[in-house]
C-alpha cells in the first residue's frame, strides 16, 4: 500500500475499522495534522479523520503568513506574540519549501495609528520577543526611503516607515506536508470521513461511528483517547458529547482579494492601517497581489463562507486609499477566498479585539478539545495537547512515551539541509529537471513547491505518455498524479484549491485544464458518471464563488467601517509561480 494514495483509501478505511488506536483525532486542519505528527512520533498509535478534504476549512483560507501577530502588541498580548513569534523560525527551518521570508513594510502617516516612535519601539520589541535573527531585524526608513521601497504608496501625509520580516506560506500545503510526515511515521489518516456518532463505555468516550461522504458507508473506529481538533466545528462535536458549556466559539470571517500583478504591480509587501484602525496586508506572490483581511462576525454555513459585496467594497476602498494610483474596481478582482477564524468568545469585544490564543478543554467523557490559536503556533499547540495525552494514557509494560521531537523535525519535503541550504538545493534540482527535459521554470516551480519530494515528481514526469494523460501536459500530469498517489486528492477541487492553490492564484490555469484533470481523475479513481458530474459541478461552484460576491444585501445602515469592525453581524445562510500550477 502506498503511504497516502487516494486509490487505496478504502483499504485504509477497512484497516482503521479493524484496529484500535491510542489516539483518534477529529479534524484534518493544521492543528489536527500537528497533533497527529507529534503523537505518532512519540510512539502513540494515531488515526485522523476529516469530514472535508485536509485543510478544507480555515487551514486553506488564512492570510497565508506564518507570522507572530505584530498587531497583538497593541492589545498587550505579549506572551502570545513571544510564543508564536519564536515558532516562525521553527516552521521555516522544518519546511523551507512551504515557508518563505517576506520583508514587510509598515508605513506610518500623519494622523495614523502609528508614528515613528511607536513603530520603532513596537518593531524592536517584536524582534526581541520573537527572537529574530540579526539579519532579519527591523529597519527604520525616512520618507524618501519608504516611498522608494514601494512607489505605489500614498505620498500625502507619509512620515516614514519600518521594515521587518514575516514568513509567507502556502497554508494548505503546509498542512498536507505535516500530515504526510505523520503518515510516513505510521499514522492513519482519511479525508471525507465524518464522525457521525460518539461511542461510550460506562460514560467514557471510546470511539466513533464515521460516515464516508464518498459512498455513504459507515466505519467503527476505536481509540483510547479522542481529540476534537475540528476548528470551526469544535462546538458541534462538544454538543454531541453533551459537554458544550462554559467557553464557546465565536466565528469571524476573513476575506482576501487577488489581483493580477500587471494591474496591481506591488513590489513590496505592505502592512497598513485603515481609517477604522484595522490592519491589512497587501502581498505580492507569483505574479499576483493579494489583499486582506476583513474581520466580521459570522453566522451561516460553516463549510462554505463567501465574499459579499460589502467585503469586496471594503478591501477595494482600503487599497485605493493606500495605493491611490492603482484605482482598482470590482472588475480587477481575479479571485478571492473567505475563511473562518474559530476564536474563543469574549464578552464585549469586537472581532478584531478577540484574542487569538488557544485553549484546551477536557470533558467528563474524556474528550479533549483544542480551540482557538493561530496557524503559526500549530506545533506548540500540538505539543501541549500531546503532553496532556501522554499524562492521561498509561503505556502498559512498555517504555514511556517519547518526548516531543517536532521542533527540529523536517516536514515531508523538508529534507533539504535547512533553510540556508534550500537555495542551493533549488539550483541543483532545477538543473536536474532541465536535464530530464523540463523547462527551467517548470523544474524550479516543482522544486520550490515539493522540496525534497521533487524527485518523485520528476519520475512521474518521465512516465508521461500522451495516450494515457487525457491531454494533460507533462508537468500538469506529474502534479495531478502525485496529488492522487501521494497526497490523497480525491476530487478536482482538492487539486485546484488545496494541493496547488491555483484557484486562488492562477484561476486561468484552472479554467484551462479543468476538463482534462476531471477526465484523468475519473479514469484513475474510477468515478461513476454521477461522481464525475457532481465533482465537475462542485468545481464550477468554487470558480463562481471566487469571483462573484454572495447574493445578499447588507442592511441599509451598515456602513463599511461599522460592518468590518463587527457592529453588524454577518448573517447569512450560504451554500453548503511561472504558471502557478
Are 62 and 375 in contact by the 8 Å Cβ rule? The answer is yes
Which residues does residue 21 pair with via DSSP β-bridges, in sequence order?
223
Which residues fall within 8 angstroms of residue 21, CB to CB, at 6 or more apart?
Answer: 45, 46, 47, 188, 221, 222, 223, 224
If pLDDT is split at 50, 70 and 90, which confidence band does 538 have?
very high
Count CA atoms closer than 13 A to 530's CA, side-chain side: 2
Instruction: Please tell me the predicted confidence (pLDDT) of residue 577.
Output: 34
Q: Among residues 340, 295, 341, which one has the least CA distance to residue 318?
A: 295
473 pLDDT tier (thresholds 50, 70, 90): very high
What's the pLDDT at 70? 65
Can you tell me the mean pLDDT for 427-449? 97
Measured in degrees and rounded to the nearest 5, phi and psi for residue 393 equal -95, 120
Q: Which three cell numbers stand for residue 325?
A: 494610483
| Rounded Cα distance, 508 and 325, in Å | 26
Residues 581 and 441 sit within 8 Å (Cβ to Cβ):
no
Which triple of cell numbers denotes residue 368?
479533549
Residues forming beta bridges with residue 344, ordered by sequence position: 249
Q: Can you tell me the mean pLDDT for 417-437?
A: 97
Q: How far apart are CA 504 and CA 287, in angstroms?
A: 12
pLDDT tens-digit map of 130-184:
777 788 888 999 999 999 999 999 999 999 999 988 899 999 999 999 999 999 9
**pLDDT (0 to 100) of residue 175:** 98
What average pLDDT score do residues 76-102 get?
A: 84
Spatial contact of 354 and 344, defined as CB atoms under 8 Å apart: yes
> Which position has the grid cell 486553506?
60
- The answer, yes or no, to whether residue 381 has pLDDT greater than 70, is yes
**Closest by CA position to 542, among listed 518, 499, 517, 507:** 507
The dihedral built from the CA positions of residue 70, 73, 77 and 80, taken in this order, carries a sign that is positive
Q: Is the pLDDT of residue 236 over 50?
A: yes
Nearest CA among 87, 94, 181 for reference residue 378: 87
Report the 10 Å Cβ neighbour count for 400: 9
| Domains along the chain with CATH numbers | 6-58+172-248+356-408 (3.50.50.60), 101-168+249-350 (3.30.9.10), 422-547 (1.10.8.870)
Give me the residue label for grid cell 469592525: 565
Q: Which residue has the higher pLDDT, 71 or 429?
A: 429
Mean pLDDT within 205-210 = 98
Q: Name the pLDDT band for 85 (thresholds 50, 70, 90).
A: confident
User: What radius of gyration, in Å, describes the C-alpha atoms of the chain?
Assistant: 23
pLDDT score, position 335 = 98
Q: Would you place residue 568 in the very low, low, confident or very high pLDDT band (cuts 50, 70, 90)?
A: very low
Q: Taking all residues of the chain, what is their mean pLDDT, rounded to a whole number?
A: 89
Rounded to whole angstroms, how far apart are CA atoms 256 and 269? 15
Q: What is the dihedral of CA 55, 61, 65, 68, to 10 degrees?
A: -90
- Rounded Cα distance between 442 and 449, Å, is 11
* C-alpha cell at position 324: 491611490
Q: What is the pLDDT of residue 411?
A: 98
Q: What cell was used for 266? A: 506591488
Q: Which is more confident, 577 or 38?
A: 38
Of 379, 368, 389, whose CA–CA distance to 414 is shortest? 379
User: For 153, phi and psi rounded to 5 degrees?
Assistant: -60, 145
pLDDT at residue 69 in the model: 64
For residue 558, name the pLDDT band (cuts at 50, 70, 90).
very low
Residue 550's pLDDT is: 85
Residue 573: what pLDDT?
32
Stretch 553-571: mean pLDDT: 37
Preceding omega of 91 cis (within 30 degrees of 0):
no
What is the average pLDDT across 521-542?
Answer: 97
The answer to whether 389 and 42 have CB atoms below 8 angstroms apart is no
Cβ pair 470, 477 in contact under 8 A: no
- Between 126 and 210, residue with greater pLDDT: 210
Residue 356 confidence class, pLDDT cut points 50, 70, 90:
low
Of the pLDDT bands very low, low, confident and very high (cuts 50, 70, 90), residue 343 is confident
Average pLDDT over residues 2-8: 87
Distances (CA, A) of 415 to 182, 377, 422, 424, 456: 15, 21, 9, 13, 14
What is the mean pLDDT of the segment spanning 546-572? 49
Q: Residue 555's pLDDT is what? A: 37
Nearest 10 degrees: CA dihedral of 280, 232, 449, 42? 130
Instruction: Judge whether residue 553 has pLDDT over 60.
Output: no
Is it the case that residue 352 has pLDDT exceeding 70? Answer: no
Instruction: Name 250's bridge partners.
Output: 343
Question: What are the pLDDT digits (tens) for 285-301?
Answer: 999 999 998 989 998 89
Q: Name the residue among 260, 397, 233 with its Cα closest to residue 326.
A: 260
Using the predicted structure, report yes or no on whether residue 398 has a pLDDT greater than 70.
Answer: no
The backbone torsions φ and ψ at residue 265, rounded to the nearest 5 degrees and listed phi first, read -80, 60
Burial class (CB in 10 A: 0-12, 13-18, 19+), 563: buried
pLDDT of 234 > 80? The answer is yes
Q: What is the pLDDT of residues 238-272, one digit of tens each?
A: 999 999 988 888 899 999 999 999 999 999 999 99
Strand partners, 221: 208
Residue of higher predicted confidence among 136 and 507: 507
Q: Three cell numbers at 81?
A: 506574540
The answer to which of 102-106, 343-347, 574-578 has the lowest mean pLDDT is: 574-578
Alpha-carbon distance 71 to 551, whole Å?
A: 33
Q: CA nearest 258: which of 561, 505, 427, 509? A: 505
Note whether 84 and 377 are within 8 A (CB): yes
3-state secondary structure of 159: strand
Three-class DSSP category at 94 = helix
What is the predicted pLDDT for the residue at 83? Answer: 73
| Res 564: pLDDT | 36
Residue with cell 474559530: 342
Model pTM score: 0.92
Q: What is the DSSP letter of 308?
A: B
Q: Tell me: the pLDDT tens digits for 216-231?
A: 999 999 999 999 999 9
pLDDT of 106-123, one tens digit each?
999 998 777 788 888 888
Amino acid at each position: 500500500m502506498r503511504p497516502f494514495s487516494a486509490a487505496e483509501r478504502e483499504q485504509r478505511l477497512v484497516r482503521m475499522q479493524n484496529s484500535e488506536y491510542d489516539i483518534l483525532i477529529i479534524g484534518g486542519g493544521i492543528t489536527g495534522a500537528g497533533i497527529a505528527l507529534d503523537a505518532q512520533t512519540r510512539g502513540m498509535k494515531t488515526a485522523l479523520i476529516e469530514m472535508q478534504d485536509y485543510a478544507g476549512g480555515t487551514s486553506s483560507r488564512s492570510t497565508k503568513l506564518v507570522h507572530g501577530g505584530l498587531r497583538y502588541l497593541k492589545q498587550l498580548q505579549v506572551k502570545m506574540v513571544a510564543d508564536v513569534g519564536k515558532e516562525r523560525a521553527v516552521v521555516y527551518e522544518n519546511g523551507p519549501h512551504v515557508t518563505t521570508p517576506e520583508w514587510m513594510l509598515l508605513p506610518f502617516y500623519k494622523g495614523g495609528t502609528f508614528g515613528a516612535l511607536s513603530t520603532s519601539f513596537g518593531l524592536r520589541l517584536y524582534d526581541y520577543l520573537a527572537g529574530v535573527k540579526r539579519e532579519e531585524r527591523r529597519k527604520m526608513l525616512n520618507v524618501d526611503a519608504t516611498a522608494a521601497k514601494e512607489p505605489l504608496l500614498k505620498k500625502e501625509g507619509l512620515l516614514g516607515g519600518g521594515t521587518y520580516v514575516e514568513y509567507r506560506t502556502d497554508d494548505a500545503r503546509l498542512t498536507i506536508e505535516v500530515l504526510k510526515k505523520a503518515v510516513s511515521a505510521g499514522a492513519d489518516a482519511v479525508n471525507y470521513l465524518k464522525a457521525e456518532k460518539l461511542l461510550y463505555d460506562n460514560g467514557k468516550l471510546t470511539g466513533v461511528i464515521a460516515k464516508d461522504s464518498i459512498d455513504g458507508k459507515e466505519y467503527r473506529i476505536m481509540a483510547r483517547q479522542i481529540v476534537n481538533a475540528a476548528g470551526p466545528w469544535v462546538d458541534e462535536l462538544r454538543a454531541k458529547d453533551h459537554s458544550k458549556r462554559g467557553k464557546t466559539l465565536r466565528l469571524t470571517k476573513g476575506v482576501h482579494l487577488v489581483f493580477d500583478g500587471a494591474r496591481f504591480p506591488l513590489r513590496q509587501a505592505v502592512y497598513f492601517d485603515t481609517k477604522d484602525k484595522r490592519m491589512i496586508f497587501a502581498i505580492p506572490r507569483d505574479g499576483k497581489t493579494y489583499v486582506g483581511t476583513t474581520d466580521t462576525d459570522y453566522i451561516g454555513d460553516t463549510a462554505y463562507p463567501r465574499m459579499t459585496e460589502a467585503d469586496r467594497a471594503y478591501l477595494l476602498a482600503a487599497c485605493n486609499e493606500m495605493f491611490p494610483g492603482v484605482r482598482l474596481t470590482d472588475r480587477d478582482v481575479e479571485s478571492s477566498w473567505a475563511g473562518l477564524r474559530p476564536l474563543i468568545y469574549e464578552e464585549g469585544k469586537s472581532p478584531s479585539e478577540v484574542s487569538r490564543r488557544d485553549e484546551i478543554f477536557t470533558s467528563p467523557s474524556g474528550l479533549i478539545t483544542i480551540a482557538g490559536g493561530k496557524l503559526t503556533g500549530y506545533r506548540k499547540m500540538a505539543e501541549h495537547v500531546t503532553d496532556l495525552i501522554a499524562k492521561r494514557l498509561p503505556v502498559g509494560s512498555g517504555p514511556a512515551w517519547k518526548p516531543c521531537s517536532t521542533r527540529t523535525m523536517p516536514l515531508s519535503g523538508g529534507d533539504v539541509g535547512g533553510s540556508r541550504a534550500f537555495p542551493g538545493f533549488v539550483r541543483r534540482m532545477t538543473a536536474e529537471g532541465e536535464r530530464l527535459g523540463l523547462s527551467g521554470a517548470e523544474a524550479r516551480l516543482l522544486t520550490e513547491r515539493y522540496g525534497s519530494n521533487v524527485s518523485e515528481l520528476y519520475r512521474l514526469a518521465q512516465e508521461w505518455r500522451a495516450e494515457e494523460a487525457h491531454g494533460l501536459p507533462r508537468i500538469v500530469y506529474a502534479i495531478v498524479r502525485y496529488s492522487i498517489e501521494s497526497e490523497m486528492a480525491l476530487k478536482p477541487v482538492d487539486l485546484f484549491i488545496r494541493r496547488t492553490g491555483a484557484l486562488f492564484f492562477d484561476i486561468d490555469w484552472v479554467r484551462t485544464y479543468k476538463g482534462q484533470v476531471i477526465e484523468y481523475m475519473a479514469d484513475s479513481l474510477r468515478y461513476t458518471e454521477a461522481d464525475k458530474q457532481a465533482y465537475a459541478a462542485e468545481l464550477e461552484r468554487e470558480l463562481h464563488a471566487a469571483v462573484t460576491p454572495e447574493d445578499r444585501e447588507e442592511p441599509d445602515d451598515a456602513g463599511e467601517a461599522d460592518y468590518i469592525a463587527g457592529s453588524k453581524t454577518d448573517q447569512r445562510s450560504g451554500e453548503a509561480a511561472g504558471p502557478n500550477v
